[in-house]
Amino acid sequence: DTIPRFGTETPHEAKLAELMDNIDAWGLNIFDVHNYSQSHSLTSVMYTIFKKRNLIETFRISPQKLINYLVTLESHYLDVPYHCSIHAADVTQAIHVLLLIPSFENTFTDLEILAALFAAAIHDVDHPGVTNQYLINSDNELALMYNDTSVLENHSLAVAFKLLQNEDCDFIENLSDEQRKILRQISIDMVLATDMSKHGAIMQTIQSFHQSLKAKQCKDSNSNSSTNDSLVLTEQKERVQLLREMLHCADLSNPTKHLSIYTQWVDRIMDEFHYQGDRERSAGMPISPMCNRRTADIEMAQIGFIQAIVEPLWQMWAQLVYPHCQQMLDNIDSNRQWYEYQISNRSSRNNT
């Protein structure tokens, strides 16, 4: 039986094809992809990217086993408002677009690209919709299992690799042992780096690391435009550092998207936070920051999130790949202004 064009059967294949024409664009509407793929956005996005990047031929991947793995992985994302399979599809498509930046034309090996896409797809699988701190505070068995250390991130990695042990899901069966080892190593490194408690450390190193890369940046000999400077990194360690930052950027990319997409993610993360706050309140636990629906200031929280975390990170990233990623910085700025306008509007409304 032949495999559907986008990996999953859907009566809306024509509409999905139209959406997938934008797979390389930052403006892809992942919510539309989810709707027109019968809630298989992760499977259809990953399959489309693998086909487009010729990874199925390069690594002699069985298309059926890839689909089996993706559908199984997708089914292990829980039906929580934010950390569901749409978020995984969103982050996977984001890292695919970041990898297309001309500065990285000659930077990563095919195996590193495979590992980066895999890490993005798996990075939040089986996420229960609460934070690490909540799992620790509520003596959850996951916190016990992982000794309070990057609990969610360790759990997603373990679940994702467990699914690979299933014979008819092992789409990397034709990789050599060495390649499998490298893929596992890079995926673990990247997913563990999505733990927000590591954000400070990433910001510490990013400045000096990028300065050293800019120093090494070579003018691509056959480039016709002066901006086409490709970053060539001889050390795998340095390339993995870059991939770690890239996944972290993709994970924190909601404010870099068009307002209509960004506000949907805000609604979802606040649903998830407020539900956690409800559970903390009824358990008599202290309610976590931004999780109390009765005192929430959603606009202020997003402005704080943008100013403290998202804008500084994306400014560092945009500097490295200048002039690319200006669209992301512009969206961050206009989105922040929109939330500031909401607040100013709110106060004048109260005065009427």
Ligand X SMILES: COc1ccc(/C(C)=N/OCCC(=O)N2CCOCC2)cc1OC1CCCC1
Cite the active site residues.
83
Chain mean position to CA 214: 25
| Residues 30 and 10 sit within 8 Å (Cβ to Cβ) | no
Query: Is 251 one of the binding residues for Zn ion (CB under 5 A)?
Result: yes
Stretch that binds ligand X, among 7-15, 141-149, 177-185, 266-274 (CB under 6 A): 266-274
Is the Cα torsion angle 193, 199, 200, 203 positive or negative in sign? Answer: positive
Rule CB under 6 A: is residue 107 a binding residue for ligand X? Answer: no
Pick the binder of ligand X from 90, 126, 229, 251 (CB under 6 A). 251
Taking residue 285's Cβ as centre, other Cβ atoms within 10 Å add up to: 14
DSSP annotation string for 184-198: HHHHHHHHHTTSGGG
Q: Is 291 in the site for ligand X (CB under 6 A)?
A: no
> Whole-number minimum distance, CB 266 to ligand X, in Å?
5
Residues in region 125-144 near ligand X by CB under 6 A: 131
Q: Is residue 202 at the binding interface for ligand X, with CB under 6 A as the rule?
A: no
By CB under 5 A, residue 153 contacts Zn ion: no
What are the residues whose beta carbons fall under 8 Å from the beta carbon of 55, sequence distance 6 or more? 49, 61, 110, 113, 114, 117
Nearest to 178 by CA among 109, 123, 246: 109
Q: Which residue is nearest to Mg ion (CB)?
A: 124
Question: Which whole-number Å values give the CA distances from 247 to 66, 193, 213, 250, in the listed order?
Answer: 22, 8, 18, 5
Of the residues 36, 118, 171, 305, which one makes contact with ligand X according to CB under 6 A? 305
Which residue type is seen at 227? T
Q: How many residues bind Zn ion (CB under 5 A)?
A: 2
Q: Give the DSSP per-residue string, 139-206.
A: T-HHHHHTTTSSHHHHHHHHHHHHHHTSGGG-TTTTS-HHHHHHHHHHHHHHHHTTSGGGHHHHHHHH
The residue (of 61 and 290) whose beta carbon lies closer to Zn ion is 290
Question: Which residue, 34 or 51, is less far from Zn ion as judged by CB?
Answer: 34
Alpha carbon 9 to its chain's center: 25
Q: Residue 225: helix, strand or coil by DSSP? A: coil
The answer to whether residues 191 and 201 touch, using CB atoms and an 8 Å cutoff, is: no
Nearer to ligand X, 126 or 170 (CB): 126
The verdict on 124 binding Mg ion (CB under 5 A) reads: yes
Total residues at interface with Mg ion (CB under 5 A): 2
- Pick the piece of the chain touching ligand X (CB under 6 A) from 28-36, 205-213, 246-254, 339-347: 246-254
Residues in the chain: 352
Among 101, 202, 301, 329, contact with ligand X (rule: CB under 6 A): 301
Task: Name residues contacting Mg ion, limited to 187-226 (CB under 5 A).
Answer: 194
Burial (CB < 10 A; 0-12, 13-18, 19+), residue 234, is exposed
- Residue 305 interaction partner, one of ligand X, Zn ion, Mg ion, none, beta carbon < 5-8 Å per kind: ligand X
Nearer to Zn ion, 74 or 124 (CB): 124
Q: To the nearest whole angstrom, how small is the minimum distance from the Cβ of residue 304 to ligand X?
A: 6
Single residue of 241, 302, 331, 335 touching ligand X by CB under 6 A: 302
Q: Cβ 139 to ligand X, closest distance in Å?
A: 19
Residue 190: CB minimum distance to ligand X, A: 13
Positions 302 through 331 that interact with Mg ion (CB under 5 A): none
Question: Which of 7, 129 has the CB closer to ligand X?
Answer: 129
Helix 298-305 to helix 326-351 angle (10° resolution) is: 150
Q: What's the closest the beta carbon of residue 91 comes to Zn ion, in angstroms?
A: 6
Query: Applying CB under 5 A, which residues contact Mg ion?
Result: 124, 194
Query: Applying CB under 6 A, which residues contact ligand X?
Result: 131, 196, 251-252, 254, 265-266, 269, 273, 290, 301-302, 305
Query: Applying CB under 5 A, which residues contact Zn ion?
Result: 124, 251
